[in-house]
């Protein structure tokens, strides 16, 4: 593992001097969305310091990011190593976090991914979500200001901040979460917005994801379920196809949709990662607080996604129906036009590409990163 001091100023072959690159701090950078974004940041020639407590992720994801960055840009691993550092840090441990951030200088921005992210789990353990997601973010913001690390924050947020709607959701839609997870993401946004409105020269934005899924096109980086974290929908499909799980439990079959199952807007993880680089560029020339939906604008029911994945993997997947799950919305589809207008970003990859990339990943990595 590399410490923060491992980032140094050397010239990568045929590229601009690393000392002229922009340094960013990425919390939760070993996780699913964080690791894909770190890879995209390296491709964009950023220096990156990753902070992660590894409670629901693996440091081996960073090893794969390093390998992919080196391979895709024809650089020696040592050259990429100089632009990526990792520290195992828990944001809820103020002393540990302070020891790291006190030594970070000339940081251009902070990307905050760290946190728990399950709607269902948050309904069962709301205090755990508030302590971790909100408590950790408060600590981070306090220390960023105390040590003048950066006054520019890019926040990983969620469509769960919105009130459920039968129409596509825009950034102007009503904010009314229906689960503690959504409550904690909205509170993070409010904390950041209040900091900015206090007039202390802060700026930032929140990227409100709908349903990120899929894997890197190499098949080396993707979503790996963790023993302590609830397994998401598409990773569950992969486990069933591999025979690691007996069946798919579908929550609710009486929604007012074409087949009675809930509708979601799935977007490819590589599109999500690219959006963060676009948002960082936007932050360099903006003031105040902003929010952007990340989605495709197209929804699919649970049964439609199941059928599409069966086509991809070439087998039928057993499933059962259960009662609706508290906190779930029947319909969640983005109006992503603002991200396209302001950030110049658009999700380009299809549902079939999402599912095919995940299937390729789980076939190559049936036991995850182990």
What tokens does 348 get? 């380009």
Which residues pair with residue 264 across a beta bridge? 300, 332
Please give the C-alpha separations between residue 293 and each of 29, 121, 279, 325, in angstroms, as whole numbers: 21, 23, 12, 24
Active site residue 181: yes
Q: What phi and psi values does residue 138 have, to the nearest 5 degrees?
A: -60, -45
Which residues pair with residue 207 across a beta bridge? 156, 292
Give, for 17, the enclosing helix (H) or strand (E).
Answer: none
C-alpha to C-alpha distance for 35 and 287, rounded to whole angstroms: 27
DSSP percent split of the chain into helix, strand, coil, nearest 5 = 40, 20, 40
Q: Are 33 and 211 in contact (CB under 8 A)?
A: no
C-alpha to C-alpha distance for 154 and 172, rounded to whole angstroms: 19
Within 59-135, residue ranges assigned H as helices are 60-72, 77-81, 94-101, 119-124, 126-129
Catalytic entry in 181, 209, 255, 266? 181
Q: Checking DSSP bridges between strand 300-301 and strand 263-264, what pairing results, if any?
A: antiparallel
Q: Among positive and negative, which fits the CA dihedral 222, 249, 300, 113?
A: negative
C-alpha to C-alpha distance for 199 and 73, rounded to whole angstroms: 41
Q: Checking DSSP bridges between strand 266-268 and strand 211-213, what pairing results, if any?
A: parallel
What tokens does 37 get? 């974004």
Nearest C-alpha neighbor of 261 from the set 243, 272, 249: 249
Q: Among positive and negative, which fits the CA dihedral 61, 67, 71, 77?
A: positive
Q: Are 332 and 177 in contact (CB under 8 A)?
A: no
Q: Are 264 and 274 in contact (CB under 8 A)?
A: no
Q: Mind telling me the catalytic residues?
A: 181
């Amino acid at each position: 593992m590399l410490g923060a001091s491992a980032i140094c100023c050397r010239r990568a072959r045929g590229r601009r001097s690393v000392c002229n690159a922009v340094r960013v701090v990425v919390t939760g950078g070993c996780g699913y969305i964080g690791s894909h974004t770190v890879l995209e940041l390296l491709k964009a020639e950023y220096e990156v310091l990753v902070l992660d407590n590894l409670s629901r992720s693996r440091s081996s994801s960073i090893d794969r990011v390093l390998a992919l960055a080196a391979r895709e840009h024809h650089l020696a691993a040592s050259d990429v190593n100089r632009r990526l550092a990792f520290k195992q840090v828990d944001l809820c441990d103020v002393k540990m976090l302070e020891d790291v951030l006190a030594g970070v200088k000339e940081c251009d921005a902070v990307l905050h991914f760290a946190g728990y992210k399950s709607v269902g789990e948050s309904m069962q353990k709301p205090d755990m979500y508030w302590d971790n997601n909100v408590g950790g973010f408060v600590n981070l913001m306090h220390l960023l200001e105390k040590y003048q690390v950066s006054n520019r924050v890019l926040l990983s947020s969620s469509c769960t901040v919105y009130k459920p709607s039968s129409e596509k959701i825009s950034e102007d839609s009503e904010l009314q979460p229906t689960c503690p997870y959504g409550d904690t993401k909205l509170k993070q946004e409010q904390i950041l917005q209040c900091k900015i409105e206090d007039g202390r020269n802060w700026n930032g934005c929140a990227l409100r994801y709908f349903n990120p899924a899929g894997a890197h096109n190499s098949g080396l980086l993707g979503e790996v379920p963790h023993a302590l974290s609830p397994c998401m929908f598409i990773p569950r499909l992969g486990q069933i196809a591999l025979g690691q799980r007996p069946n798919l439990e579908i929550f609710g079959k009486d929604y007012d949709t074409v087949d009675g199952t809930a509708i979601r807007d799935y977007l490819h993880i590589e599109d999500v990662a690219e959006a963060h680089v676009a948002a960082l560029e936007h932050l360099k020339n903006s003031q105040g607080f902003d929010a952007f939906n990340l989605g495709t604008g197209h929804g699919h029911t649970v049964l439609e996604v199941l059928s599409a994945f069966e086509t991809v993997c070439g087998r039928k997947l057993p499933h059962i129906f259960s009662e609706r799950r508290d906190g779930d919305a029947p319909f969640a589809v983005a109006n992503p036009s603002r991200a396209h207008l302001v950030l110049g970003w658009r999700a380009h990859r299809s549902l079939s590409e999402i599912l095919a990339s995940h299937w390729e990943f789980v076939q190559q990595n049936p036991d995850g990163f182990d």
